[in-house]
Amino acid sequence: MSDQPIRISYVFDEDVFLQAHRALWEKRRQEPRSRLFGLLWAAGLPLSTWLMLQYGMVFTFLAVVGGNLVYWIFDWPITRTILRRRFPNMPGANTRFTWEISEEGLRVKGANGEGGLIRWQDVRALQEERDGFLLAQDYNVNQWLPKAAFRSEEDVQAFRALIARKVKTESASAKA
């Protein structure tokens, strides 16, 4: 990488917000406790079917079917609806953010010029997704860098090379 920092800029609009949360949602769905929760819902189907047929416990069956529908099918649509309602009241909504990525770290500035520096040692993990990069500082503090904000594919490649040297990464292809 050259000495020039990589610069990206984007407007933090609803689409970017939903991209970031979708990536985080997918990452959290892969965690063991989330998988176990889903498997428990699925495992409850045969038991609740047996209870309904044997003892007439229809409500138990309907509750388990409803839980499975919410967990396996409607979880993201419900989450997306909640996020869309929350977005207009968020600080930084529809604000342009500019990032400078260098050997030192990632410097972010908002439209008003305020911002800060995230040093590489403060980055716990960085996961590349289809639409961007999910940068984790800790479990509840994440940053989203959309790929569309990079000026060119060369900048994306330079960023990948930089994070390969600086951060423990979790590749999206390793999940599949």
**170 vs 175: CA distance, rounded Å:** 8
Residue 72: the pLDDT is 94
Contacts of 85 (CB under 8 A, 6+ apart): none
**59 vs 69: CA distance, rounded Å:** 15
Over residues 15-55, the pLDDT tens digits come to 999 999 999 999 999 999 999 999 999 999 999 999 999 99
Place of tokens 């940068």: 135
For the chain, what are the domain ranges? 6-12+94-175, 26-88
Q: Where are the alpha helices (DSSP H) in the chain?
A: 14-29, 32-55, 58-69, 75-86, 153-166, 172-175
**16 vs 134: CA distance, rounded Å:** 12
Which amino acid, 157? Q
Residue 111: the pLDDT is 81
Over residues 69-124, the pLDDT tens digits come to 999 999 999 999 999 999 999 988 999 999 999 999 999 998 887 889 999 989 98
For residue 163, is pLDDT > 70? yes
DSSP secondary structure letter of residue 74: I
Residue 168: the pLDDT is 63
Retrieve residue 78's tokens: 């419900």
Q: What architecture is domain 6-12+94-175? A: Roll (2.30)
For residue 155, is pLDDT > 70? yes
Residue 173: the pLDDT is 43
Torsion of CA 24, 143, 15, 153, to 10 degrees: -100
For residue 174, is pLDDT > 50? no
Phi, psi of 99 (to 5 degrees): -115, 140
Residue 2: the pLDDT is 55
